[in-house]
Amino acid sequence: MVADPERRLALAYAPAHARPAIETLWLIDERMGAIVAAAREPAIGAMRLIWWRDALAALDQREAPAEPLLARVSAALLPTGIAGSDVSAIEEGWSALLDGETPDEEMMRLHASRGAVLFALAARALRADASDVTTAGEGWALADLGHRISVAAPAAQARGMAAERLATVNPHRWPRALRALGLLTLLATRDAGTEERRQGSPARVLRGALYGLTGL
């Protein structure tokens, strides 16, 4: 199960046919994020991320090894036409944070690619599209990063970069099939404008549920 309560909420508003694929994408993202969060030695963290990148890409050529999450990718994502190598691109965004220093603007920009990849692949699984969906993904990833960084100035910079991207996005105009992504975009827009984030709070859940149900 996905750890992030708001991604679990968003999943409830995805069409049933796409839920296994989208949840699998988010589980891969969370696995890579956990590697970065736990890395005490950047080189070891990098090796673990590279293992996942290469293992995902290898699914395009051979059967999944005895690793439950890779087996899930093979069962839930590959049949949708999303290749393991497509999913492996998430690694670049996470590896940008591994050098042990507070992220600078270039590292933040590279990390934003994580969201762009996730949103683009999720849209494919949802069989829908919007011209600004990858921009929304970048903004979502940067807003999330802005609440992970412990140093105030870089955290504010990440949120500012998120706000710039999200200001150009309008999830209210997206097709119904994209409401799972629109919900995350809507909450990320809030996160980009505040120093505090209370994931799973009643007010946020209510706002997300309203959008999920009505698109408003």
- pLDDT tens string 141-157: 999 999 999 899 999 99
Alpha-carbon span 57 to 111, nearest angstrom: 20
Residue-wise pLDDT tens digits, 5-17: 899 999 999 999 9
Tokens of 62: 């051979």
Burial class from Cβ neighbours inside 10 Å (0-12, 13-18, 19+) for residue 42 reads: middle
| Cβ atoms of 158 and 142 closer than 8 Å | yes
198 three-state secondary structure: coil
Residue-wise pLDDT tens digits, 173-194: 999 999 999 999 999 999 999 9
Domain ranges for the chain: 5-214
